[in-house]
């Protein structure tokens, strides 16, 4: 039976445009082009991106749900800053989710998983972009989560991912430089992949835990007190 008019296709087109705007705004926040506390004007963003206000508004609502934007009482949107409590919650959630994922991945690792992890590490070795290092680091942990094949764990991780990208990017910009950050990250990821291949769940969980804790310990204390830009 043929479609009547064009209406069945219009929501798909709008959704695709909203997704493009969402990706663009999210990346700007992660990269620091939109800094903590910056006003994100709906009309201004629409004009700058060459779209209507509708996909911008929809994208901004998604970013609010992800915890990257906040709206004031007048409905104006601002890039969210992080308080000390936010930082602690991000860290403790990572520490709760990732060792469990590593432990499960050891039992459920499939033949295609390791090449994907190795490719992620190869790309990180090659890049000279600090932002790319941040994105690849989160992608690496995405792959471990996928290898765990645990749907509820993945949902919890999905709720954390956007916050983690932004927070890691801000912390990475405070470190000595992209070269050292990359070297330390690659070294930790190579070790994790080796342990996953051995199938030792407890060793994998401990390797992830050590990776996260040592990463935190490298950061100056002030970075764990919130308001990191």
* Average pLDDT rounded to a whole number, residues 46-62: 95
Give whole-number Cα distances, 122 to 87, 140, 157, 165, 200, in Å: 30, 11, 24, 20, 24
pLDDT above 70 for 178? no
Q: What percent of the chain has pLDDT over 70?
A: 88
- Residue 11, pLDDT > 70, answer no
Whether 55 is covered by a domain: the verdict is: yes
Tell me the mean pLDDT in the region 183-208.
Answer: 94
User: Can you give the length of the chain in residues?
Assistant: 229
Look up the CATH number of the domain holding residue 24.
1.10.10.10
* Global confidence as pTM: 0.84
82 φ/ψ sector (left φ>0, alpha ψ -120 to 50, else beta) = beta
Q: What is the mean pLDDT of residues 75-82?
A: 94
Same domain, 73 and 90: no
Q: Is 2 part of any domain?
A: no
Say what the pLDDT of residue 229 is. 46
State the residue range of the domain holding 16.
10-79
Instruction: Determine the pLDDT at residue 16.
Output: 87
Average pLDDT over residues 20-43: 95
Percent of the chain clearing pLDDT 90 (strictly above): 70
Q: Structural domain tally of the chain? A: 2
Average model confidence (pLDDT) across the chain: 88
Single out the residue in 56, 79, 102 at which a domain terminates. 79
* Whether residue 61 is found in the same domain as residue 111: no
Last residue of a domain, one of 79, 96, 128: 79
Token pair 């479609």 in the structure block, residue: 3
The answer to the question of residue 181 being in a domain is yes
Tokens matching residue 214: 């040592």
Rounded to a whole number, what is the distance in angstroms from the first to the last CA of the chain? 55
The span from the CA of 117 to the CA of 195, in Å, is 13
Same domain, 100 and 197: yes
Q: Flag whether 3 is in a domain.
A: no
Do 104 and 212 sit in the same domain of this protein? yes
104-113, 175-184, 216-225, range with the lowest pLDDT: 216-225
| Model pLDDT, residue 3 | 47
pLDDT score for 222: 55
Do 32 and 144 fall into the same domain?
A: no
Same domain, 61 and 147: no
Longest CA span, the chain? 65
8 Å CB contact between 144 and 197: no
Are 52 and 116 in a shared domain?
no
């Amino acid at each position: 039976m043929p479609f009547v008019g064009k209406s069945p296709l219009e929501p798909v087109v709008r959704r695709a445009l909203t997704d493009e705007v969402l990706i663009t705004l999210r990346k700007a926040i992660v990269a620091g082009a939109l800094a903590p506390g910056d006003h994100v004007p709906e009309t201004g963003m629409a004009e700058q991106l060459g779209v209507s206000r509708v996909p911008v508004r929809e994208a901004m609502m998604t970013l609010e749900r992800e915890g990257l934007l906040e709206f004031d009482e007048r409905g104006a949107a601002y890039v969210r800053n992080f308080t000390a409590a936010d930082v602690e919650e991000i860290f403790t959630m990572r520490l709760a989710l990732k060792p469990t994922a590593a432990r499960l991945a050891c039992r459920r690792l499939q033949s295609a998983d390791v090449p994907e992890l190795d490719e992620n590490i190869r790309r990180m070795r090659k890049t000279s972009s600090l932002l790319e290092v941040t994105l690849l680091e989160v992608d690496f942990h995405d792959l471990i989560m996928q290898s765990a094949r645990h749907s509820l764990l993945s949902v919890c991780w999905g709720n954390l991912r956007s916050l983690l990208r932004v927070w890691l990017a801000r912390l990475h910009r405070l470190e000595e430089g992209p070269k050292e950050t990359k070297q330390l990250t690659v070294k930790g990821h190579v070790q994790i992949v080796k342990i996953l291949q051995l199938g030792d769940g407890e060793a994998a969980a401990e390797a992830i835990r050590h990776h996260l804790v040592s990463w935190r310990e490298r950061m100056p204390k002030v970075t764990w007190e919130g308001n990191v830009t």
